[in-house]
């Protein structure tokens, strides 16, 4: 049950900021032509996104397909090159780093992917997969200790160390995700970016991996950037949540602020759409049905991107883009007409 | 050729008083080079008009295969229906020749799938595909078929249906494509609609739209709906009864409120405890240990025993049968009383 | 049900990887054996297929004939006596004799060497070129890819036989090396396109992104991640290509622009046989048969390999 206001531990405070993303923009050009390509448009996948990640916290980046959350993650990892913006990590801008510097920095920011079947090379043994990072970063573990360290890592993620010479296809989906986690941990990173790490798993297995990630965070002091579309999982594991829509963050706050004291109409609609697994509550949620489809990121609406589907939309919404700032809700929201009254969680 | 679904099927009369669909002890297996996959191992359920049954299970539970067996669309070889009966209004579909079965498929029993992009033919406009159903099965003219197609598209709330009737599947968004698929399925006014994970691939806001649409259409037509899903939330929202499947068998069945309130099978409880909630703050999730079973080597006795906290010697040797555990409820567990008791007390 | 330890809830009753279930009283139930890498799996699957065994057997036979023709005949194919001209098959000359009076059986046996060696030589080199440039084009993309791809497309448009005729006519001496050179020159575009598209799809896989995120260098990524996972279609196609090249050499020699006398080639033999099909059919039959069987066995082998190496059947 939800804790009463007095007992809520404010999370995400106290820890120092270890990653600060400022005005991140990532546009993909739409080109035409075979030999000489001409640009005829842009997909504005990520359009001015800023947030901070503190040490030891889990920040969730949540939204539906096409909102830009995965692109944000990939750009921070420089698997895509940013169009503009900064990503400050320990005083250095990740986007300004040279190839050599980036290689060093990669040690500290690692990643877990969504698809347990595509994220592991089917032709490498589990041991090789986990230890591959050490080829690029030999200083992390001396050669003589590597095999032992792989055994340790396998145990750490709940797998049998005897399976070090087996191949990915011999494991189940949940086990493969654990291998992916072990691979990320091998370099002893500070931050792990988890891109939909449980979305492709069976429901009963999702909880295993979620628990594992939580335990590892407590044990190793990791910080997570948790990308997902499942708001229930996000509520459970994240300390703070940023909601994205069409390339922008529309609301950001801790779990009580965003879920119980929701301010942005999109978040409200999103939350209302989630079916509650309790038939006794059937018909009780106020379902907000959004009209139509998400606009194309190649041609987003002017001003507030959500205005074409928003029941509160007025003229001002088509003008200047509302900024993500404090508007009296207790947490930043990008809307000219955010929720005014505080709703207690029991509603 | 005008093919109107007959009031007899294969020479046997359709019984208007029999349940719409009565599946008994269905068994399906796939014979592969590397071994035999026992996908469905004795599934039974009954569907009445206006009812929504949810078949709940994870991967490897056999839920999709069982639906395909009802529709008669399993590739054979390597798939074989090796036992049981599927009675549509009293007539066993499994005993009918394919020519008779084809009269039922699409006409009386329709199915929609998870991925509309692969279920729709990419080289024909959507309007054409819908109109085709009317032309072939009802023998109407091209013009009439087109009008009916537009009507249908409007009924499933596709905006600007008249303009979009000539668009191709890939020109629609995921949610819109799903609506097209629903329109296609409903075109011949089926009595039963089987929805195989219809919203799994969709965003949650779109999912809400589609489930809403399905509920409205069901209320309008009075058809029976079989909803196959792994999502406990979706089940809780729309189903009147639920069949929980594990390793090809039903492990718990019953009216939905009672089942959620007092589950009697450890798997059901495990599922409920392992999902997070967006409306509650939970300290820790309780997962089910282990992984879904390998259908080529299902554990002896109770298939769930390898992941069950209640497992004992008896579970290795005796396959638990479904027994009544409450009013209108069945569960297949040797220790269901203890399970229910613990749940109520804990 | 509480969970006392950090991860004991996952390990407590976790089935072993092979599906062996550990129940409280310690009973074990093994499942189907699936140990080993994908290559080992493929090999195990191949071993059982008659298609593979037959084609492999034929290929091995042909290769042995090519390397050690002496094992199959002690007769010198060049020991020709005019008085033995155009004899039908008999106990003394199993395949009869040709116009010059040479033992046809010996000729046919010795003809294998040239065909097999050209087939294998050309395939190996064309594949190597294709792998090097195809993976560079596919992996790095951009300008390099555009250039390589366009050159390949233009080259691809040159018809093999016609082009072969034109280029080979420039050589006065045409032996195995010259013919191989020309066939390599004309054969690499198809291979390269195959490698390139294979690399393009391997590049999209998450595990390549994972390697990049670990900081692995491009060369290692290509070597350990891209190539092993894009080679399957290349292996299949290369096997079939051997058959195709053998066929092509025979065609060129038949047309008079391939190997020249005194080389012994099935194509040349068939060329000489074409005017005497009615009177001395054995002249066409035997080299034709050997040629067909050889080409056929390579194509069959390619088929068998494709089924075994198809990752979708995992």
Q: Which residue of B has its CA nearest to C8?
A: B289
* Closest approach of B289 to chain C, Cα-based (Å): 5
**Contact residues, chain B, for C15 at CB < 8 Å:** 290-291, 306-307
Q: Which residue of A has its CA nearest to C39?
A: A123
B260·A174 Cβ contact <8 A: no
DSSP classification of residue C103: B
C207·A137 Cβ contact <8 A: no
C206·A119 Cβ contact <8 A: yes
Residue A210 has pLDDT above 90, yes or no: yes
Residue with the bigger pLDDT between B87 and B3: it is: B87
Separation of alpha carbons B65 and A35, rounded Å: 48
Question: Residue C6: its pLDDT value, please?
Answer: 32
Residue C35 has pLDDT above 70, yes or no: no
User: Which has the closest alpha carbon to A244: A70, A29, A28?
Assistant: A70
Q: Which residue of A has its CA nearest to B279?
A: A259
Three-state SS at C152? helix
Burial (0-12, 13-18, 19+ Cβ within 10 Å), A59 = buried
Highest-confidence segment of A55-59, B31-35, C303-307: A55-59
Separation of alpha carbons B265 and B294, rounded Å: 20
The alpha-carbon radius of gyration of chain B (Å, integer) is 21
A103·C16 Cβ contact <8 A: no
Residues in chain B, total: 346
**Contact residues, chain B, for A205 at CB < 8 Å:** 287-288, 291-292
Q: Which residue of B has its CA nearest to A256?
A: B281
Q: Which of A75, A132, A191, A193 to mutate to test the interface with C (most CBs of C within 10 A)?
A: A132
Q: What is the pLDDT of residues A27-63, one digit of tens each?
A: 998 888 766 678 888 899 999 999 999 999 999 999 9
Q: Confidence band (pLDDT; 50, 70, 90) for B139?
A: confident
Which of A121, A169, A215 shows the shortest C-beta gap to C7?
A215
Residue A323 has pLDDT above 60, yes or no: yes
In this structure, what are the phi and psi dihedrals at residue B159, rounded to the nearest 5 degrees? -65, 150
Residue A7 makes CB contacts below 8 A (sequence gap 6+) with: none
Question: Residue C3: its pLDDT value, please?
Answer: 32
Residue A9 has pLDDT above 50, yes or no: no
Instruction: Give chains near C: 3+ CB pairs under 8 A.
Output: A, B
Decide: B179 and B211 in contact? Cβ < 8 Å.
Answer: no
Compute the half-sphere exposure of residue B236: CA atoms within 13 Å on the CB side of its CA: 20
Separation of alpha carbons C120 and C177, rounded Å: 12
Question: Residue C15: its pLDDT value, please?
Answer: 37
Place of tokens 């594990």: B246
B286·C25 Cβ contact <8 A: no
Q: Which of A172, A232, A233, A279 to mutate to test the interface with B (most CBs of B within 10 A)?
A: A279
Separation of alpha carbons C264 and B270, rounded Å: 76
Q: Which of B229, B271, B281 to mutate to test the interface with A (most CBs of A within 10 A)?
A: B281
Residue A284 has pLDDT above 80, yes or no: no
* Closest approach of C137 to chain B, Cα-based (Å): 30
Residues belonging to chain A with any Cβ–Cβ distance to chain C shorter than 8 Å: 35, 74, 77, 79, 102-104, 106-107, 110-111, 113-115, 118-125, 132-133, 135-137, 157-158, 160, 163, 166-167, 169-171, 175, 180, 183, 187, 208, 211-212, 215, 219
Q: Confidence band (pLDDT; 50, 70, 90) for C32?
A: very low
Residue with the bigger pLDDT between B18 and C207: it is: C207
Question: Residue C79: its pLDDT value, please?
Answer: 82
Q: Which residue of A has its CA nearest to B294?
A: A172
DSSP classification of residue B300: S
Decide: B10 and B16 in contact? Cβ < 8 Å.
Answer: no
Cβ atoms within 10 Å, residue C85? 14
Residue with the bigger pLDDT between A198 and A282: it is: A198
Which of B207, B260, B280 shows the shortest C-beta gap to A273?
B207
Question: Residue C207: its pLDDT value, please?
Answer: 95
**Contact residues, chain C, for A211 at CB < 8 Å:** 3, 7, 9-10
**Contact residues, chain A, for C14 at CB < 8 Å:** 158
Highest-confidence segment of A273-282, C172-181, C287-296: C287-296
Residue B8 has pLDDT above 90, yes or no: no
**Contact residues, chain B, for C22 at CB < 8 Å:** 306
Separation of alpha carbons B230 and B292, rounded Å: 13
A106·C10 Cβ contact <8 A: no
Separation of alpha carbons C222 and A121, rounded Å: 12
For residues B8-30, average pLDDT = 86
B291·C22 Cβ contact <8 A: no
DSSP classification of residue C292: H
Q: Confidence band (pLDDT; 50, 70, 90) for A340?
A: low
* Closest approach of C22 to chain B, Cα-based (Å): 7
For chain C, percent of residues with pLDDT exceeding 70: 87
B278·A65 Cβ contact <8 A: no
Q: What is the DSSP string of B119-162?
A: HS-TTS-HHHHHHHHHHHHH---HHHHHHHHHHHHHHTT-TTHH
Question: Residue B194: its pLDDT value, please?
Answer: 95
Decide: C107 and C264 in contact? Cβ < 8 Å.
Answer: yes
For residues B126-136, average pLDDT = 89
**Contact residues, chain C, for A74 at CB < 8 Å:** 209
In this structure, what are the phi and psi dihedrals at residue C141, rounded to the nearest 5 degrees? 60, -155
Residue C84 makes CB contacts below 8 A (sequence gap 6+) with: C93, C97, C101
Q: Which residue of C has its CA nearest to B313?
A: C25
C131: cis peptide before it, omega within 30°?
Answer: no
B291·A172 Cβ contact <8 A: yes
What is the rounded average pLDDT for all residues in chain A?
88
Question: Residue B3: its pLDDT value, please?
Answer: 53
Residue with the bigger pLDDT between A164 and B174: it is: A164
Q: Quick one: tokens of B167?
A: 């668009």
Ramachandran category for residue A114: left, alpha or beta (phi over 0 → left; psi -120 to 50 → alpha): alpha
Cα four-point dihedral sign A39, A44, A45, A51: positive
For residues A62-81, average pLDDT = 93
Q: Which of C5, C8, C10, C15 to mutate to test the interface with B (most CBs of B within 10 A)?
A: C15
pTM for the model: 0.85
* Closest approach of B159 to chain A, Cα-based (Å): 8
């Amino acid at each position: 049950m939800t804790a009463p206001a007095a007992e809520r531990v404010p999370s995400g405070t106290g820890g120092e900021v270890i990653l600060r993303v400022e005005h991140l923009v990532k546009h993909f050009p739409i080109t035409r032509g075979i030999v000489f390509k001409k640009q005829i448009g842009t997909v504005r996948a990520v359009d001015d996104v800023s947030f901070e990640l503190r040490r030891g916290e889990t920040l969730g980046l949540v939204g539906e397909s096409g909102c830009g959350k995965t692109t944000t993650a990939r750009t921070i990892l420089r698997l895509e090159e940013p169009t503009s913006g900064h990503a400050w990590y320990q005083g250095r801008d990740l986007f300004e780093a040279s190839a050599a510097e980036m290689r060093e920095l990669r040690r500290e920011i690692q990643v877990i992917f969504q698809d347990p079947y595509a994220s592991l090379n089917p032709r490498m043994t589990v041991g090789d997969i986990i230890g591959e990072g050490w080829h690029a970063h030999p200083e992390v573990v001396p050669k003589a200790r590597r095999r032992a360290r792989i055994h340790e890592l396998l145990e750490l993620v709940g797998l049998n160390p005897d399976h070090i010479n087996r191949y990915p296809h011999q494991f189940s989906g949940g086990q493969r995700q654990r291998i992916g986690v072990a691979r990320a941990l091998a370099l002893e990173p500070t931050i792990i970016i988890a891109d939909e790490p449980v979305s492709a798993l069976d429901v009963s297995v999702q909880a295993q991996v979620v628990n594992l990630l939580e335990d590892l965070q407590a044990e190793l002091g990791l910080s997570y950037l948790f990308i997902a579309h499942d708001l229930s999982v996000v509520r459970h594991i994240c300390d703070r949540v940023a909601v994205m829509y069409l390339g922008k963050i529309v609301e950001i706050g801790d779990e009580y602020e965003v879920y119980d004291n929701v301010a942005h109409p999109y978040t409200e609609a999103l939350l209302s759409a989630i079916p509650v697994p309790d038939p006794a509550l059937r018909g009780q949620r106020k379902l907000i049905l959004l009209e139509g489809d998400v606009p194309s990121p190649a041609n987003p609406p002017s001003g507030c991107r959500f205005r074409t589907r928003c029941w509160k939309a007025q003229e001002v919404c088509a003008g200047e883009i509302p900024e993500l700032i404090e508007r009296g809700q207790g947490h930043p929201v990008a809307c000219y007409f955010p929720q005014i009254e505080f709703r207690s969680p029991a509603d | 050729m005008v093919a109107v679904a007959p009031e007899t099927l294969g020479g046997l009369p359709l019984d208007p008083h029999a349940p719409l669909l009565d599946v008994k002890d269905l068994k399906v297996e796939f014979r592969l080079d590397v071994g035999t996959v026992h996908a469905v191992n004795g599934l039974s359920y009954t569907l009445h008009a206006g009812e929504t049954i949810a078949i709940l299970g994870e991967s490897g539970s056999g839920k999709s295969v069982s639906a395909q067996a009802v529709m008669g669309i399993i590739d054979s070889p390597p798939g074989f229906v090796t036992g049981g009966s599927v009675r549509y209004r009293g007539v066993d579909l499994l005993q009918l020749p394919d020519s008779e079965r084809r009269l039922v498929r699409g006409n009386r029993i329709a199915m929609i799938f998870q991925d509309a992009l692969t279920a729709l033919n990419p080289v024909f406009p959507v309007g054409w595909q819908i109109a085709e159903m009317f032309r072939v099965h009802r023998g109407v003219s091209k013009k009439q078929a087109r009008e009916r197609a537009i009507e249908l598209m409007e009924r499933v709330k596709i905006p600007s249906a008249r303009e979009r009737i000539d668009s191709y599947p890939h020109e629609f968004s995921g949610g819109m494509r799903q609506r097209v698929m629903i329109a296609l399925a409903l075109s011949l006014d089926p009595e039963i609609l089987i929805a195989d994970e219809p919203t799994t691939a969709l965003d949650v806001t779109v999912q809400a739209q589609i489930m809403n649409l399905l509920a409205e259409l069901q209320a309008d037509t009075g058809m029976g709906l079989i909803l196959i899903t792994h999502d406990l939330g979706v089940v809780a929202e729309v189903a009147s009864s639920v069949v929980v499947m594990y390793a090809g068998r039903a492990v718990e069945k019953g009216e939905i409120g009672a089942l959620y309130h007092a589950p009697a099978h450890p798997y059901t409880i495990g599922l409920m405890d392992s999902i997070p909630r967006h409306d509650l703050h939970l300290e820790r999730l309780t997962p089910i240990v282990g992984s879904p079973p390998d259908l080529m080597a299902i554990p002896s006795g109770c298939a769930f025993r390898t992941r069950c906290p209640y497992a004992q010697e008896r579970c290795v040797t005796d396959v638990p049968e479904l027994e009544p555990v409450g009013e209108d409820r069945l569960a297949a567990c040797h220790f269901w009383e203890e399970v229910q008791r613990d749940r109520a007390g804990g | 049900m509480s969970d006392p330890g950090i991860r004991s809830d996952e390990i407590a009753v976790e089935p072993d990887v092979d599906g062996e279930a550990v129940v409280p009283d310690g009973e074990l139930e093994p499942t189907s054996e699936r140990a080993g890498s994908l290559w080992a799996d493929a090999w195990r699957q191949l071993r059982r297929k008659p298609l593979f065994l037959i084609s492999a057997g034929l290929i091995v036979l042909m290769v042995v004939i090519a390397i050690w023709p002496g094992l199959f005949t002690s007769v010198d194919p060049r020991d020709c006596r005019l008085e033995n001209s155009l004899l039908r098959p008999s106990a003394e000359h199993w395949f009869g004799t040709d116009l010059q009076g040479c033992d046809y059986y010996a000729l046919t046996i010795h003809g294998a060497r040239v065909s097999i060696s050209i087939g294998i030589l050309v395939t190996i080199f064309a594949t190597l070129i294709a792998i090097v440039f195809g993976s560079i084009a596919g992996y790095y993309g951009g300008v390099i890819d555009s250039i390589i791809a366009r050159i390949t497309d233009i080259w691809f448009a040159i018809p093999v036989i016609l082009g072969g005729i034109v280029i080979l006519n420039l050589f006065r001496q045409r032996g195995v090396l010259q013919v191989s050179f020309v066939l390599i020159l004309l054969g690499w575009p198809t291979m390269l396109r195959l490698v390139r598209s294979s690399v393009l799809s391997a590049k999209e896989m998450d595990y390549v992104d994972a390697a990049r995120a670990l900081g692995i260098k491009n060369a290692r990524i290509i070597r350990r991640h891209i190539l092993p996972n894009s080679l399957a279609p290349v292996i299949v196609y290369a096997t079939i290509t051997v058959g195709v090249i053998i066929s092509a050499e025979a065609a060129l020699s038949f047309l008079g622009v391939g190997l020249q006398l005194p080389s012994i080639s099935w194509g040349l033999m068939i060329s000489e046989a074409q005017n005497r099909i009615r009177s001395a059919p054995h002249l066409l039959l035997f080299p034709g048969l050997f040629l067909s069987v050889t080409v056929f066995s390579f194509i069959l082998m390619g088929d068998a390999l494709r089924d075994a190496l198809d990752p979708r059947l995992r």
